Chains A and B, each alone.
Chain A
Amino acid sequence: DIQMTQSPSSLSASVGDRVTITCRASQSISSYLNWYQQKPGKAPKLLIYAASSLQSGVPSRFSGSGSGTDFTLTISSLQPEDFATYYCQQSYSTPEFTFGPGTKVDIK
């Protein structure tokens, strides 16, 4: 099975900061990597699919990059509504579409 790790597990940042979250796969997953945002008590929301494609309606301050085993999610200028937990998910290895453990972004 493909294992997903994320770093950091949590971070504190200020509004306007540039934030980068890293996701690593235990083996190559090509570009089959998706990113989600989840706020407390809410369903996750798709931000980025196929490593770097911005989901419709998602602000352009979110971007994704990477391929193979190493991926990043970048928020170019953190906004108040961006404080949330972020998950990566691989969709390369059927039938197990594993999620990373999550990165919590909170207010400094």
Chain B
Amino acid sequence: QVQLVQSGAEVKKPGASVKVSCKASGYTFTSYGISWVRQAPGQGLEWMGWISAYNGNTNYAQKLQGRVTMTTDTSTSTAYMELRSLRSDDTAVYYCARTNPWLAFDYWGQGTLVTVSS
């Protein structure tokens, strides 16, 4: 069965960086992209970006350009999302999601809470 397992919760200070991992299993990793979505406390869903696990091509949300980097390690079927220069409004649950050919997110990780606080 398809599973995406994310790394654990993080607490960071403003200005620091965080790197969240997402380990995939149950499917051919390079056949699908991985998207990252975040959700601030009590708020809606915000798409952050997408990476092709096949060739590493990326698309990032304009508001995060320059602060976010998405990568994959095909040898371990793991995707990574790094966010730099953290601010308090980056506090959120971060999700990875497998992206199907219609660019819908059909399987999701369990979420990783990132708290940014001084």
CB pair B105–A44 under 8 Å, yes or no, is yes
Q: Known: A97-B50, A98-B47. Is A43-B62 also a contact (CB below 8 A)?
A: no
Question: Looking at chain A's contact residues, is the secondary structure mostly helix, strand, loop, or mixed?
Answer: loop
Seen from chain B, the residues whose Cβ lies within 8 Å of a Cβ on chain A are 35, 37, 44-47, 49-50, 59-62, 95, 97, 100, 102-106, 108-111
Question: Interface range on chain A: under 10, 10 to 19, 20 to 34, or 35 or more?
Answer: 20 to 34
CB pair A43–B109 under 8 Å, yes or no, is yes
Question: Looking at chain B's contact residues, is the secondary structure mostly helix, strand, loop, or mixed?
Answer: strand
CB pair A95–B61 under 8 Å, yes or no, is yes
CB pair A46–B111 under 8 Å, yes or no, is no
CB pair A43–B111 under 8 Å, yes or no, is yes
3 interchain residue pairs of minimum CB distance: A95-B59, A91-B103, A49-B104
Q: Known: A43-B110, A95-B50, A98-B47. Is A32-B61 also a contact (CB below 8 A)?
A: no
- What residue in chain B is nearest A101 (Cβ atoms)? B44
27 A–B contact pairs at CB < 8 A? A1-B62, A34-B102, A34-B104, A43-B95, A43-B97, A43-B108, A43-B110, A44-B37, A45-B108, A49-B106, A53-B102, A87-B44, A89-B47, A89-B104, A91-B103, A91-B104, A94-B59, A95-B60, A96-B61, A97-B50, A97-B103, A98-B47, A99-B44, A99-B45, A99-B46, A102-B44, A102-B45
